Amino acid sequence: MKNPRIIKLSLAFMSIFYILAGTLHFIIPEFYLKLMPPYVPYHRFMVFFSGLAEILLGFGLLGKKTRSLSAWGIILLLIAVFPANIHAYVDNVDLGVPRWVLLVRLPLQILLIYWAYIHTKKEH
């Protein structure tokens, strides 16, 4: 991605996406608590911790000095929460959405990881 305008737009959208997603962890924690696999301890803490991480990483995308580290942090976070998405689909967790949405979320994680990876490069 070489076009500076597209890069800025992508970063702005990604930043807003993660800040809003993280904020939702605090507004509707019950939704995220349903996603937690039983083997993960401290469900409520993990929901709030991951929400805070999303907010901080989203803001981190906006600074040139923090952008690459934040993008790598988002990649790690997406990998860390992937088992929860698998759990939601395999165990048919009732999130109030059709089951196919839970299935679509799985490959969507790969696209989100790629999107973050694009912004790990220092020249952005």
Residue 49, pLDDT > 70, answer yes
Residue 123, pLDDT > 70, answer no
Residue 64, pLDDT > 70, answer yes
pLDDT, averaged across the chain: 94
Is 85 in contact with 120 (CB distance < 8 Å)? no
Q: Give the structural domain span for 15.
A: 4-118
Residue 121: pLDDT band with limits 50, 70, 90: confident
Residue at 124 is within a domain: no
**In percent, how much of the chain has pLDDT > 70?**
98
Residue 19, pLDDT > 80, answer yes
Q: How far is CA 67 from CA 12, 31, 48, 99, 105, in A?
A: 11, 29, 23, 35, 25
Residue at 45 is within a domain: yes
Residue 1: pLDDT band with limits 50, 70, 90: low
Total-model pTM: 0.91
Residue at 20 is within a domain: yes
Residue 37, pLDDT > 70, answer yes
Count of domains observed in the chain: 1
Look at residue 4 in the predicted model and tell me its pLDDT: 83
